Amino acid sequence: MEELYLRYRQPVFRIVYRSTRNIDEAEDIVQDVFLKAFERLHTFREQSRFSTWLMRIALNLCTDRARMRQRRQELLEREADHKLAWCHPDAPDPIETAQQNAFHEAFYTALNQLPDHHRQLIILRDLEEMDYETIAQILGASVGAVKLRVMRARRAFKAKLEPLLRAIGELE
């Protein structure tokens, strides 16, 4: 198990980190990925690759975490609205963030605004440059369906990215 862990730790971390952009959170998720994988090793079907199986677990855990984070954020905002009516919650302004952190930060700001299923596809296909076949295996979908979903994800992503790029002067 240690060998498997050492072999796949960094590739799993890369995907998770692209999604969270936080080292501690990414390491927590990586730990959960391997705990889940090793505890369910007997359910692993060898028709898919071990790395593919791990990536599927990682994406599911990232989605769970993102939902938890969003729920917590909503609760905090609701609480702040309730208790501190005079004080506006300090949700970061995406445009300001992009200006401060320049080009690649605009990219991640837009990426984080996407729904999970779109974000995952942009990470896997456009950032990690995985082939459609592998993505199809990870997501349990056909190659054709994945191609279509990637196109939709890009369309959604560009719509989010456009105002951010304009704000930092990368688009006229």
Partner 1 sequence: MKRLCRELERHLESGAEHLPDALRAHLAGCAKCQRAWRLHQAYQRALRAAQSEPTPACELPWSRVQAQLAARAVSRRPFAWLRPALAWA
CB of 140 to partner 1, least distance (A): 22
Per the CB < 8 A criterion, the answer to whether 59 and 120 are in contact is yes
First-to-final CA distance of the chain: 53
Q: Does position 50 bind partner 1 by CB under 8 A?
A: no
Comparing CB distances to partner 1, the nearer of 117 and 154 is 154
- Report the C-alpha gap between 18 and 12 in whole angstroms: 10
Measured CA to CA, the distance from residue 138 to residue 119 in angstroms comes to 14
In angstroms, what is the minimal distance from the CB of 141 to partner 1? 17
The site map against partner 1 for 109-148 (x = CB under 8 A) is ----------------xxx-------------------x-
CB 154 within 8 A of CB 120: no
Nearer to partner 1, 80 or 132 (CB): 132
**Gap between the Cα atoms of 2 and 24, Å rounded:** 21
- What are 150's two structure tokens? 């990637």
Residues in contact with partner 1 by CB under 8 A are: 1-2, 5-6, 9-10, 12-14, 17-18, 23, 26-27, 30-31, 34-35, 38-39, 103-104, 106-108, 125-127, 147, 150-151, 154-155, 157-158, 161-162, 165, 170-172
